[in-house]
Structure 1
Amino acid sequence: MDMVVTPVGLNCRYYDALDQLADSGTPLARFKLDPRCDNNVDRDSLSTGLLPLEGNIVGEIFAGSDETCVARGYGAHSYWAETDQYLLLALWADESNEAGLAAATERLYRELLGQTRARGYPHLVRVWNYFADINGEEQGLERYRQFCLGRFDAFSAADIAENQFPSACALGHRGGDLLIYALASKTPPHHFENPRQASAYHYPAEYGPRSPSFARASLLSLPGQAPKLFVSGTASVVGYVTMHPYQLSEQITVTLQNLDLLLAHVARQYASDARELPSLQAEVLKVYVRNATDLGEIKARVEQAYPKVPVVYVAADICRADLLLEIDGIWNLSV
C-alpha cells in the first residue's frame, strides 16, 4: 500500500474543472460529483455518483492548512487519510457481489468501525452514505430500511451507544457502488439533536425494523482550529412525520426552519454565557434535489437564506419517497 506524507489541515470546499487550486498541495481527500459511482477507475479522486445540476462544480475537497501532516493510502476497496487528530476513511462495495444491501452495509460498517478503532480514531464524527435506488424494495423491505438495518446491526455489534451516533446522511444516487465515507477523530465530538425533531434513533416501528442511527449534528473541536459543526441531512420532518408530502415550496420552508432551529440550539448549548452566544458561519452547503425541474425554486430560496455561501446542488433521491429535497453542510463556530 503506497503512502504519501504531506502538510494538510481540515476544511471543505468545492472546485470546478478549471480550478488550479484543486491541485495545490495534497488534499486529504477529493470527491468527484459524477453520474455514476464507480471507484475502481480513478485513484486521484473518489466517485460519489451525485451529478451536479448546474454550474461548473465537479467535486469537493477536504484539505486545509499546512499545520499538520497527512498519511494516505488505498486498499482494494478503501481509501484512508489520517493526521495526528483525525482520520477520513472511505469504503465501497459492488452490490452485485453482496448478499443484499443490509448485509453489504453491515459488512462495510463493521470494517469502518474496526479500522477507525485500530488506527486510534475511535470517535465517529460524520458519515456520508450514498447508494442506488434508495426508495426501491429489496427482500420485501425498502432499500433505505435495509441500509438502516445493516448499519444498526454493525453499531450494535461494536457497542456503539445512541449518544455516540455520528451526524450522517443517506442519499440515493443513479447507480454504481455503495459508498460510505467517514470522518473519525481522536477527540470525542459533541453530538446534537434538533428540539423540533424526534431523534432518528427513536423513530417508531412504522419507519422500519431498525431506526436510523445518526445524530442531527456533530461539533468537533480540534487544537488550533475553530470548532466545526457537521450538520446531517435535513429535510421537511417535524417530530418524525414528513411535513407537506410532495409539496416543494412548503418543504423548502420547513427544511430551512429546521436548520435555523438546530443552529440556534447548538449555539445555546455551546455558550458559556447565554448573553454572548457564539456565531455559526456556513462553510459549505450541499443540497440534494430529487427532481431537476425543482432546482430553480430551491436555489432561489437557499441562496436567499445563505447568500455568499458556497453551495452545490446535486441530483439525488431522498430517504423518504415523499421528500423532495435535503440539505446538509459544515459550519464554523466562533466565540
Structure 2
Amino acid sequence: MLKFSSTHSAIPEFEQAVNAIFKQLQTINNLVKISFFTGVHSGCNPDQQKAIIARYAQSTLDLVHTGIPLIEQKPLGCSVSVEYATYEGDGTICQKHDKGLDYILIEEKGKRLLILNGISASNTLTLEEQAKAAFDALRFILKKTGFPLNSIARQWNYIPGIIAFDKGIQNYQAFNDVRSRVYNTTSWPSGYPAATGIGIDGQQLIIDILAVEGYATQAISNRKQIDAHEYSANVLLGHSSLKTSPKFERAKAAVSGSYGMLFISGTAAINGEESDIADIRQQTLLTLEHIELLCSSLDNESMRIQQLRVYIRQKEDFDQVQKICHEHYPDAAIIFVQADVCRDELLVEIEAFATFEV
C-alpha cells in the first residue's frame, strides 16, 4: 500500500531549504514518489533549482536518477513544499531509468505498481505538441514495463497557462483533446484514471502517473456532479475541432487484499457541470462536501483522508481556505499552493488521498 504525506520549509534561501527537507526525507524508509513545489527564488532559476534537488537527492538518498519533478506553483505559508509517498508492504522496489525517464516499479506477489514522474517535452513546442510528446513517452514506459494503458489509476497533469488561449484554442482544451485521442485507443472497463489538471507558472507541461496491475479498481462518481468525461460542449471552451471532454473519474479506488486506496481527483465547487458560486468560503466548503461524498460512496467506516493538496487561485484567500481545511481534516498532511484552476470562476481546487480497510 502507498501512503502520502508532505513536509515544508520556511527557509527563504532555496538551497538551504532543500538541504533541510532532504535531511527529513533521509529518515523516511521506502520513499517511492517525491514532488517539489516551489516558486521564484532570488538568484535561482528553475534549471538551477532542479540541479540542486538532483544533487541532494543523490548525496542524501542515493538516488542517481531522481525522477523528482519541480512543480512551479508557489507554496503558501512556506517557501518550499514537498509531497512524498512511501510504500508499505513486502514487495520489491526497483528504480528504473530509460530514455531520460525515471520510474519506480514495485513488484508484489501477483501485483505491481508503476510510478512514473516528470514526463515532459521541450517548452519550445506548443502545448498540443508537448502533450503529444509526453503521452508518447508515457506509452513507451507502459509498453516497456508491460502495463496496459488502462492500468493508469492516478494521473497528475501540470499545464502551463491552463486557461490561456492559443489561436482560439484553450490550453486545457488542447490537452484534453490529445488525452482523448490517446485514451480512445483502448477500453476502460473500470473507468478512466482519477486525475488533476492544474495550472503552473512555468512553460513546460509535466505529467505524473501511477499505474496498478493485479489490484481491483473501481471508478467512483459523485451524485451531485456530472462525471467530467460526460460534460457537454457548453462548458468546454475554445474552437478546437475535437472539443472533447476531460477523460477522468471523480475518484478511483484500488483494492488489494485487506486494504484499499482512494485517489480523489482535483475537485472544485461544481454542481452538475456548472460553477456559479463566487464566494471563496462557499466554494471551499462545497469542494470539501464533494470530497466527503466521494469517500462515503464506498460505505466504509475505516475510510481515512491522509493527504490533501489545495490549489488556491488568489493568495489573499489562503488564510480562509487554510482554516477551513484544517478544521475539516486536522490530522491530514496538507500542501497549499497558488495555481490557476481550469475555469476562470473557480477560486480553489482540492485533491485528496485516502486509505481504507476491506
Specify the TM-score bucket, using the shorter chain as the normaliser: 0.7 to 0.9
Deviates more, 1:198-207 or 1:161-170: 161-170
Deviates more, 1:324-333 or 1:36-45: 36-45
Q: CA deviation at 1:280?
A: 1.1
Deviates more, 1:319-328 or 1:181-190: 181-190
Please point out which of 134, 151, 154 is paired with 2:162.
134
SS at match of 2:72: coil
Aligned residues: 314
Find the counterpart in structure 2 of residue 3 from structure 1. none
Deviations 1:170-196 (A, max 9, x none): 110111421100000112421111111
Find the counterpart in structure 1 of residue 4 from structure 2. 12
Find the counterpart in structure 1 of residue 239 from structure 2. none
Q: CA deviation at 1:26?
A: 5.0
Query: What TM-score comes out, normalization by structure 1 length?
Result: 0.86
| Cα separation, 1, equivalents of 2:130 and 2:355 | 34
Find the counterpart in structure 1 of residue 152 from structure 2. 124
Please point out which of 145, 170, 174 is paired with 2:197.
170
Give the root-mean-square deviation of aligned CA atoms. 2.2
Q: CA deviation at 1:163?
A: 4.5
| Cα separation, 1, equivalents of 2:208 and 2:36 | 13
Establish whether residue 34 from structure 1 lines up as the match of residue 44 from structure 2: no
Find the counterpart in structure 2 of residue 183 from structure 1. 210
Find the counterpart in structure 2 of residue 263 from structure 1. 295
Query: What TM-score comes out, normalization by structure 2 length?
Result: 0.81
Extract unaligned runs of 5+ from structure 2: 10-19, 41-45, 58-67, 237-242
Please point out which of 309, 334, 339 is paired with 1:311.
334
Please point out which of 283, 286, 299 is paired with 1:251.
283
Please point out which of 113, 128, 134 is paired with 1:102.
128
Q: 1:143 to 1:162 in 2, by over 3 A?
A: farther
- The residue identity in structure 1 corresponding to 2:350 is I
Q: CA deviation at 1:115?
A: 2.1
| Cα separation, 2, equivalents of 1:113 and 1:124 | 11
Please point out which of 80, 103, 114 is paired with 1:87.
114
Establish whether residue 242 from structure 1 lines up as the match of residue 275 from structure 2: yes
| Cα separation, 2, equivalents of 1:119 and 1:253 | 41
Deviations 1:94-146 (A, max 9, x none): 45332x21232133223323422431233111000112111110131111111
Q: CA deviation at 1:40?
A: 6.0
Find the counterpart in structure 1 of residue 348 from structure 2. 325
| Cα separation, 1, equivalents of 2:197 and 2:143 | 23
Q: CA deviation at 1:52?
A: 1.2
| Cα separation, 1, equivalents of 2:169 and 2:96 | 36
Find the counterpart in structure 2 of residue 22 from structure 1. 25
Q: 1:35 to 1:247 in 2, by over 3 A?
A: same
Q: 1:310 to 1:297 in 2, by over 3 A?
A: same
Contact persistence 2:121–2:134 (CA under 8 A)? no
Find the counterpart in structure 1 of residue 251 from structure 2. 217
Please point out which of 79, 84, 88 is paired with 1:61.
84
Q: CA deviation at 1:13?
A: 1.2
Find the counterpart in structure 1 of residue 261 from structure 2. 228
- The residue identity in structure 1 corresponding to 2:169 is L
| Cα separation, 1, equivalents of 2:154 and 2:26 | 25
| Cα separation, 2, equivalents of 1:109 and 1:148 | 12
Deviations 1:207-258 (A, max 9, x none): 33100000011111234x62010100010001111131x3212211211111
Contact persistence 1:130–1:170 (CA under 8 A)? yes
Q: CA deviation at 1:293?
A: 0.5
Q: CA deviation at 1:29?
A: 2.2
Contact persistence 1:90–1:182 (CA under 8 A)? yes
Deviations 1:282-313 (A, max 9, x none): 11111001111100110111111112211110
Q: CA deviation at 1:331?
A: 0.4
Contact persistence 1:57–1:312 (CA under 8 A)? no
SS at match of 2:223: coil
SS at match of 1:293: helix
Extract unaligned runs of 5+ from structure 1: 1-8, 268-276
Q: CA deviation at 1:66?
A: 6.1
Contact persistence 1:288–1:313 (CA under 8 A)? yes
| Cα separation, 1, equivalents of 2:335 and 2:138 | 27
Contact persistence 1:71–1:81 (CA under 8 A)? yes
SS at match of 2:259: coil
Establish whether residue 154 from structure 1 lines up as the match of residue 158 from structure 2: no
